[in-house]
Amino acid sequence: MRIHYIQNDSAVTLGYIKEWIEDRNYPLACTKMYEYGELPPLDSFDLLIILGGKMGSYDEEEFSWLKTEKNFIRECIDANKWVFGICLGVQLLANVLGAKVYPHSHQEIGWWPLTLTDEALSSPLLTGVPNEFVVFEHHGDTFDLPEGAVRLATSSGCMNQAFSYGDRVIGIQFHPEFTNDMIHEYKEVADSQMLEGAYCQSPSDWVNKPSYLDKAKTLLFTILQNIETAILRC
């Protein structure tokens, strides 16, 4: 299974996804959009992973390459490629599919509980994922559900936490790929900021949560294995 990922921000890397891929020795390639990297031919990969970033999907004036990325994502969907978007990645997917992406009424930062929707219980992409789980969030934007998409997860802080579109596209708003080191780096930045709101936890509460990290990693690996199983069946 050939995997290509799009990195939108130097600070947002594959995290635990890299471990999963390396354990399976799958070919891996990357386009760093912030360096105006070259996007690959559609026939050169089986799965596209779109990572997060500090920008919004609507920030095309400041980050001109977003338009190029969106066009590429649209081409992938039209070509029936497998696509997995995380945080900014899910927002880009929603935008490409015709939905509005916009600043939320509040930020959602820290470890927060999510619940699968009834529709998610029959999704093969979420087979083995528990009905309720806690994951790390770090976002200030949200999105409307695209027409034809299926809402998969929700929370008290944000209605649209995950969706699928067709059989081969899935996006999640949260960050199960974040390692403890990555969260520590976010904490160091946040320590100098004022984070306020009902869904902003203190940065000191983000780090050193081994139980949360292990469960989030298991959830991530379960989703990736479900995608892997579906691709290898084709």
Convert the pLDDT of each residue in 127-164 to its tens digit: 999 999 999 999 999 999 999 999 999 999 999 999 99
pLDDT at 191 over 80: no
d(CA 163, CA 97): 12
Superfamily of chain region 3-227: Class I glutamine amidotransferase (GATase) domain (3.40.50.880)
Summarised one tens digit per residue, pLDDT across range 8-40 is 999 999 999 999 999 999 999 999 999 999 999
pLDDT at 188 over 90: no
pLDDT value of residue 192: 66
Domain ranges of the chain: 3-227
- Contact (Cβ atoms closer than 8 angstroms) between residue 101 and residue 158: no
d(CA 114, CA 209): 17
d(CA 173, CA 87): 4
Sole residue written with tokens 């039209």: 78
What would the two tokens of residue 41 be?
């031919």
* Helices and strands: H and E segment counts in the chain: 5, 9
Sole residue written with tokens 């790390």: 136
pTM: 0.97
Q: Which residues contact 129 (CB under 8 A, 6 or more apart)?
A: 116, 120, 219, 222, 223
